[in-house]
Amino acid sequence: MAVTEDRLGGTLQPAFALWSAATVLGGAILLPAARSATWTATATAGLAVVVALLLAWWGRRRTGSGPVTALLAAAGAWAALAGWLSTVLLDRVPVVAVAAAIVCAAGIVTIASRLLGVGRPLATALLVAAMVAAVVAVWVALGSDVRQPLRIVPVLVVLGVGLLPRFALGAGGLAEASFRLRAAAQSVPPEQVDRSLRIAEEHLLGGLTGLAAGAGVCGAVLIGTGDYRDIALAFGLALLLWLRSRLFERTGQQLPLRLASGAILLSGAIRVLLLGWAWVLPAALGAVLVLTMAFGARRVRRVGRSRLLRVAEILVAAATVAVLVAATGLAELADPLAKP
């Protein structure tokens, strides 16, 4: 009998009970008292983390991975709140507080995921986001402009997204299995291969989600606070996110990159429309019409669409790097160095 079946006597199913607990814990974080900048609220957030982790441990052998992952997400949210509140109480700048929140969430979820064996995509996504946030926070702590890492990091991330499958295979254990097969001539059980593939796919999905979220937030902030060069850089980043998503075949792997791309483009469209340029909306509608007809044409679909997209990706990458050089001031820095 499955543990999630209805039981006599009106006893709640473990899955329903755990989902309810995760919902209550996640909703309680919205209470104003929970988010007040006091040490009492910080201690309460820490207690909520402990409760969520205990429930996740209790439910691990009683139900599926869904409710347990939801509880891990709730624990991560409360850990992020605890990190945020403690950093604010120590009078740190908001960027450092955000980084501390993400790092705390990533640490709690990663350790719990490792011990319980569930929630790998969530843990990997938070780890990637924590690394991006830590780089930005260190940059700001050194007294530099906060927009500089927001310009550099997402471009490097998008250009290097093709390396993720290799890291995912290594994290899943397939690299070790391949070494055993080739070097030691040891047979690898099919069950181990299937498990390694599943873990690698989970790490890949989590890594793509974390990278897409980091790039999307950086692009949106650049659009909201930057000048025309930052807006151009964000648009180039959005196009690269969409084009680089073609590296992955599954819809679930493409979706995070394309959602981030759409979010950046939407933010840019809103910013440009708010600037009051009358020609922008007709130009955007014309571009959508031309691109849809071009890529939907049968001749292009059969023969040259892949080649056209590869060329477009190279051109967009080159243009984005050029705009990055201009936006970060490297071009102005190179001028005095070039003079005798």
Assess whether pLDDT exceeds 70 at residue 119: yes
Quick one: average pLDDT of 194-219? Answer: 83
For residue 284, give every residue at least 6 positions away whose Cβ sits within 8 Å of its Cβ, in sequence order, or none: 269
Number of domains observed in the structure of the chain? 2
Domain limits for position 250: 146-340
In a domain, 6, yes or no: no
3 within a domain of the structure (yes/no): no
Of 55, 20, 13, 57, the residue nearest 4 (C-alpha): 13
Q: Check whether 181 has a pLDDT greater than 50.
A: no
**66-79 residues labelled b (16+ CB within 10 A) or e (exposed):** ebbbbbbbbbbbbb
Predicted confidence band at 185 (pLDDT cuts at 50, 70, 90)?
A: very low
Indicate whether 85 and 165 sit together in one domain.
no
Q: Which of 144, 175, 207 is the last residue of a domain?
A: 144
Confidence at residue 284, expressed as pLDDT on a 0 to 100 scale: 65
Helix (H) or strand (E) holding 22: helix 14-28
Between 109 and 329, the more confident residue is 109
- The residue ranking higher by pLDDT, 110 or 4, is 110
Residue 5 included in any domain: no
| pLDDT above 90: residue 53 | yes
Hey, what amino acid is at 214?
Answer: G
Verify that 100 and 120 share a domain, yes or no: yes
Residues 204 and 105 in one domain: no
Comparing 340 with 288, the larger pLDDT belongs to 288
Residues 40 and 188 in one domain: no
Alpha helices in 90-189 (DSSP H): 94-116, 120-141, 147-159, 164-172, 174-183
Could you say which of 79, 110, 144 is where a domain stops? 144
Whether 164 is in a domain gets the answer yes
Is residue 298 one of the residues assigned to a domain? Answer: yes
Ramachandran angles phi, psi of 30, nearest 5°: -85, -10
Contact present, 116 and 68 (Cβ < 8 Å): yes
Q: Give yes or no for a contact between 310 and 243, defined as CB atoms under 8 angstroms apart.
A: no
Does 151 lie in the same domain as 140? no
The pLDDT assigned to 331 comes to: 55
Residues 154 and 126 occupy one common structural domain: no
pTM attached to this predicted model: 0.76
Mean pLDDT throughout 145-152? 81
The answer to whether residues 134 and 94 belong to one domain is yes
- 276 and 264 in one domain? yes
The answer on 155 and 130 residing in a single domain is no
Span 58-109, pLDDT tens digits: 988 888 888 999 999 999 999 999 999 998 888 777 888 889 999 999 999 9
User: Do 291 and 184 lie in a common domain?
Assistant: yes
Q: Which conformational region is residue 276 in: left (phi greater than 0), alpha (psi within -120 to 50 degrees), or beta? A: left
pLDDT exceeds cutoff 80 at 8: no
pLDDT: is 231 or 338 the higher one? 231
127 and 18 inside one domain: yes
Chosen domain end from 144, 172, 198: 144
Of 20 and 172, the one with more pLDDT: 20
Asked if residue 155 and residue 260 are part of one domain, the reply reads yes
State the pLDDT at residue 62.
82
Residue 2 falls within a domain, yes or no?
Answer: no
* pLDDT score at 247: 79
Residue 4, domain member (yes or no): no
Q: Residue 232 pLDDT more than 80?
A: yes
Query: pLDDT band at residue 17, thresholds of 50, 70 and 90?
Result: confident
Asked if residue 118 has pLDDT above 80, the reply is yes
